[in-house]
Chain A
Amino acid sequence: MIYLYAIVETGARPPACSGIDDEPLEVVLLGGVAALCSTHPQRPLSPEPELIWRHDLVLERAMAGGPVLPVRFGTTFADATALQAALAGKETGFRAQLGELRGYVELAVRVSLPEEWRQAPAEGRAYLENRLALRRELEAATQGVLAPLESFARDSRRLARIAGEPFIKASYLVSTGEVDRFAAEVRRLGGSSGDLQVSCTGPWAPYSFVGEEAA
């Protein structure tokens, strides 16, 4: 079984760490791109903490060596032939994406309303009024925090709201040289946004910016 972590450039070297289950990392050439992967005896995979963190560690190390297209957690292939077949014909698109993402990282921003919003009325008119008010507050938070940050990023994605939940999230594609500036802007907006709680995590591999066009 081959576990695939990321698509990388043909010149990339395996990061200096081991993969999941401590198996060695390999870079397998596939035409114009390469696959960062490790080989395992067949086994079921579930998102256990050790596997999740190992996957992320591999991506974090790989990012340090050049652009990466992170692959969704848990993607495996029976053997090298199956891997080659799955990626056949996509090399040109992957190469273009690698070029576009060179020097960029993803930052995650979350804006939360005060915790009182979690104690929502359970039913009736009060429930409906609360839901409407929640929607207005989240829209204001979007315009007040998420939207202004877009001018500090090359690209962004707002994550779908979860009905009834008092927070909103977005991902930003930011040049590595601009991360500090972006973080400073997050702090500034957080400090001037009343009782909104604003958090920012990263840098992440560009998980939110390697979407359908590469698939």
Chain B
Amino acid sequence: MTTAEAQPLAGEDIAVIDLLDRLLCGGVVVAGDITLAVADIDLVYVSLRALISSVSVLEGGELAPQRTKAALKR
């Protein structure tokens, strides 16, 4: 669940990875139907990495401005 490139991760990328760590690996697990293909998860990492999150990101002492998820609507 990581990136392989040499560039440091931008705050948005870290927020997306933190989001995916939680939604896909955390949370209450109940005996419902979870039908997620593992292969899809890598794909979603790639496609989400370009997106902007609304969570605030602290990095290198800076608190990034609050961003809006509205930017994600296509």
Contact = CB atoms under 8 A, between A and B. Distances in A.
Nearest to A70: B27
Interface string B1-29: 11010111101001100111111111111
A70 B24 CA distance: 11
A133 interface: no
A131 B53 CA distance: 33
B19 A75 contact: no
Interface size range of chain A in the complex: 35 or more
A69 interface: yes
A198 B62 CA distance: 11
Interface string B33-74: 111110011001001100101111111110100000100101
B59 A197 contact: yes
Interface of A: 4, 7, 44-50, 52-53, 55-57, 60, 69-78, 82-83, 86-87, 90, 94, 106, 108, 110, 112, 115, 118-119, 159, 162, 165, 167, 169, 171, 183, 186-187, 190-191, 197-205, 207-208, 210, 214-215
Interface of B: 1-2, 4, 6-9, 11, 14-15, 18-37, 40-41, 44, 47-48, 51, 53-61, 63, 69, 72, 74
